[in-house]
Each structure stands twice: as structure tokens, then as C-alpha cells.
A and B are shown apart, each in its own frame.
Chain A
Amino acid sequence: MNDFWLALLGMTCITFSCRYLFFSKTVPFELGPKIKRLLSYTAPSVLTAMWVPIVFLGHQQTNSNFITSPFLIAGVATVIFSLKVKNTLAVVMFGMGIFGALKVLF
């Protein structure tokens, strides 16, 4: 786990640099509108690339059926609920509640 400290140091530098870069007085360039547009899709793409495998491949770790997997059912329910309700906390609580209930039931 020696690598951990290197990983931590690197990650600290990378996250801080991304946040600080354009605050620096020595950075002469600006982001063009094209780059800005490209970057505006990063957050939705990254987050989706993280939640989709949990919902659709989650059944693999528990060796359950794809269709009856609590990950899939609760995930789809959360997506539908999030279309109706915009409150982040309410959506998270709803999703966790459904998932917990399914875990208890099956």
C-alpha cells in the first residue's frame, strides 16, 4: 500500500490544479467556446459512466438474476422518480428506500 501515498499526492495535485488553473495570473490563455462546450458534458458523462454499471451490472456481484436484481429495479425506479421530483435528497432517499426494501424482501 506504499502506492497509496503516491496516489494521494498525485490526486491532490491533479484536483487542485484543475480548480486553480484559470485563477492563476500567469495563465495567458482563455478557454474557447468549443472547449467550454466540450467540458460542459464532462459532469453528466462521468457521473453516468459511474451509475449505469452499478444499476445494470450490479447483479453480477450478488449472482442474482438480471431482471430481479435489486440494483436494476431500484435503479430504474430512481430514474423515473427523478424525472418527477427535482429534490436531490428526496431522490436519494427514495432510491435507497426501494433498494433496502428489495434487499429485505428477496
Chain B
Amino acid sequence: MSDRTAIAKGSFPSDFKTMNRAIIDIFPLALAVVPWGVLCGSLAINIGLTPLQAQLMSLLVFAGAAQLAALTILGAVGSLSSIYSSTFVISSRHLLYSAVFRDHVRKSSLGLRCSIAFFLTDEMFAVTCAYMEKTKSFSAVYALSSGITFYLIWNISTFAGIIAGQHIPNLEHLGLEFAIAATFIAIVMPTIKNWSTLIAIISSGLSAILFSLFIKEYALIAATFIGMLFGYLTKDKESIDE
């Protein structure tokens, strides 16, 4: 598609192209989290947070699964420590992403490193890795553009959820809660490419049901650990054919 020359590399038109590419690549992923963002906004209103608090959560924390888990715990008047520990467990996958980008990012300025870290999400990581594989080089412009696009859509949908939560009573009965399930199913199922991932998913799913019935507050963390452990212990000899 591009016939870039050595001179054009790093110059404005090329950066502009990279930005465009990043926005196009992340857009479908960003649209898929809209119901989820709406849910985060409306659920926050539903459990008694102010619109400002609800929006700040998406502006500062910017982590859908962690936000949703925290809102559920806040709604059930759970403890701070259970919020912190579930946030850590849910976010710990970002340690992996951070480690993968490390060599490409480490020599950059503090500002750039902080920005890339702040906008690092599952979706941004996925598209940036795909782009890196295609072009054989890490692009900070690409990472930031896709990350910021995602951030904007996430916050706009949270805002929409806040407005909806204030004006439509019992919004969750319209099936927004099911939107989380549908979103997560859509994200998880394509990742099953080997036995170990399948085992991780099955064991975490089964234990999530069991734990939800008994130790509600820590069910998510416990089930996640079991899934990780069983996945880790499963040897991948052959991959599953689709």
C-alpha cells in the first residue's frame, strides 16, 4: 500500500498515515466495547455514584473489567481490600504487555513512556502487536493513536451510560448486564487456540460458579487464579484444529 522511502520515514505525512492506520485498525474493537462502557456508566449511577465520580473512573482507571468488578463490589458494599486485590489480579495481565513492549519503549522520554503505559489496553496491545509484526518495527505513533482513539470511545460511551442511567430507571433490566457476558464471550472464544487455554477457561468458569455461591467477594480472584494455574500446568502438545 505504501511506497515509503527512507526520507519519508518518520516525517509528518508518514506519521499521519500511521495514525490513520491505527484509528482504522482499533475502531471495530472500540465499537465492541460501547455497550460495556454504557454499562459502566449506568451501573455507577445505579449504585449511587455521582456523574462526576462515574466519569472520573473511566477517565483515570480506564480498565473495563476492573471497573466493572469494582462497581459490583462497591454496590454490594464490599471492602476496599477486595476492590484493590481484584483490580490487581485483573490488571496483572498488563504486566505481560508492559514486558513485551519494554525493549521498544525503554529508551523513550518519561512523558512518552507514561503516555504509552496509560493508554495500554488489551485492544491497543493486540493491534499494536499485529502492526509490529507487519512492519517489523514498534511505532509509538501507532500505539498512542490507537490507544487514544480507544480512550475517547470508552469515555464517550461511559458518558452515554451516565446520561442513560440518570434518565432511564432500571436500565440493567434492558439486558445491559448481558452485554458484559456477550462482550467477554466474544473476546475469549477466539483466543482458544490450544488445550491449555481451553483448560484455563473451563477451570476458571467452573470454579467461578462454585465460588460465587460460597465466597462471593473473592470469587473472581480465586477463579482467575485457578484458571491461570490449570492453564499453566497443562502441556500443549498439539493445537486444536478449528
Contact = CB atoms under 8 A, between A and B. Distances in A.
Given A50-B69, A51-B188, A82-B189, A4 B74 contact: yes
A82 B87 CA distance: 27
Contacts of B168: none
B60 A36 contact: no
A54 B98 contact: no
Measured as residues with beta carbon below 8 angstroms from the partner, the interface class of chain A is: 35 or more
A3 B73 CA distance: 12
A20 B178 contact: no
Interface in A34-55: 34, 36-55
A100 B118 CA distance: 35
B95 interface: yes
B93 interface: yes
B224 interface: yes
A7 to B, nearest CB: 5
Measured as residues with beta carbon below 8 angstroms from the partner, the interface class of chain B is: 35 or more
Interface string A1-43: 1011011101110111011111111000011001011111111
Contact of B185 (A18, A31, A82, A89): A82
Interface string B165-200: 000000000110111111111111111100011001
Given A41-B227, A45-B224, A3 B185 contact: no
A18 B88 contact: yes
Interface of A is mostly: helix
A18 B95 CA distance: 5
Interface in A57-106: 57-58, 70-71, 74-75, 78-79, 82-83, 86-89, 91-92, 94-96, 99-100, 103
B99 interface: yes
Contacts, number: 265
B185 A22 contact: no
Contacts of A58: 177-178, 181
Contacts of B101: 22-23
Interface of A: 1, 3-4, 6-8, 10-12, 14-16, 18-25, 30-31, 34, 36-58, 70-71, 74-75, 78-79, 82-83, 86-89, 91-92, 94-96, 99-100, 103
Instruction: Sort A-B residue pairs by CB-CB distance and give the 6 closest, nearest first.
Output: A45-B227, A95-B182, A41-B231, A91-B186, A49-B223, A20-B117
Interface of B: 28-29, 31-32, 35, 48-49, 53, 56-57, 60-63, 65-70, 74, 80, 83-84, 87-99, 101-102, 105-106, 113-114, 116-118, 120, 122, 174-175, 177-192, 196-197, 200-201, 204-209, 212-213, 219-220, 223-229, 231-232
26 contacts: A3-B74, A12-B61, A16-B117, A18-B88, A19-B94, A19-B117, A19-B120, A20-B117, A23-B101, A34-B232, A40-B231, A41-B228, A41-B231, A46-B65, A46-B220, A46-B224, A51-B181, A55-B181, A57-B212, A74-B182, A78-B181, A87-B28, A88-B28, A88-B32, A94-B182, A95-B181
